Amino acid sequence: MNSENDARRSLRDIEMEVLAEGREWTRQRLETKLQEEADRHGGVFPPKRKQGAASAEGADAPARGQRRR
């Protein structure tokens, strides 16, 4: 990058960029660890939904801003 462009960036912009990079790094690390664990147990990640299984929508749906149909 150009040092002139760096001087014009606000501290907030730099903070937001670094936080986003950290979130992505954490997401990738979590995905890797979860996949390793699933592989160790011989499963598939994410697990496939069973036929006829109930929806995840439950009593907490209103708290998430969802309505039952």
- Distance between CA atoms of residues 61 and 65, nearest Å: 6
- Distance between CA atoms of residues 57 and 29, nearest Å: 28
pLDDT of residue 52: 79
Nearest to 36 by CA among 24, 27, 45: 45
- Distance between CA atoms of residues 58 and 56, nearest Å: 6
pLDDT of residue 39: 87
pLDDT of residue 57: 60
pLDDT of residue 49: 75
Could you say which DSSP state residue 26 is in? H
- Show pLDDT as tens, one digit a residue, over the chain (69 residues): 566 666 689 999 999 999 999 999 999 999 999 889 888 888 665 667 778 766 666 666 666 676 655
pLDDT of residue 5: 62
